A and B are shown apart, each in its own frame.
Chain A
Amino acid sequence: GAVVSQHPSRVICKSGTSVKIECRSLDFQATTMFWYRQFPKKSLMLMATSNEGSKATYEQGVEKDKFLINHASLTLSTLTVTSAHPEDSSFYICSAATSGGALETQYFGPGTRLLVL
Chain B
Amino acid sequence: GIQVEQSPPDLILQEGANSTLRCNFSDSVNNLQWFHQNPWGQLINLFYIPSGTKQNGRLSATTVATERYSLLYISSSQTTDSGVYFCASRSNDYKLSFGAGTTVTVRA
* Same complex: yes
Write the nearest CB–CB distance from B52 to chain A, whole angstroms. Answer: 15
Cβ contact within 8 Å between B41 and A44: no
Cβ contact within 8 Å between B43 and A46: no
> Is the contact region of chain B dominated by helix, strand, or loop, or is it mixed?
strand
B42 within 8 Å of A (CB atoms): yes
Chain A: residues with Cβ within 8 Å of the partner, total of 23
Given A43-B86, A49-B95, A102-B94, decide whether A108 and B101 contact each other with a Cβ distance below 8 A: no
Chain A residues whose C-beta falls within 8 Å of the C-beta of B42 in the assembled complex? 108, 110-111
Chain A interfacial positions (CB closer than 8 Å to B): 32, 34, 38, 41-44, 46, 49, 91, 93, 95, 97, 102-108, 110-111, 113
Given contacts A105-B45, A106-B96, 20 further A-B contacts (CB under 8 A): A34-B96, A43-B86, A43-B100, A43-B101, A44-B96, A44-B98, A46-B97, A49-B94, A49-B95, A95-B43, A102-B94, A103-B94, A104-B48, A104-B90, A105-B33, A108-B35, A108-B42, A108-B44, A110-B42, A113-B41
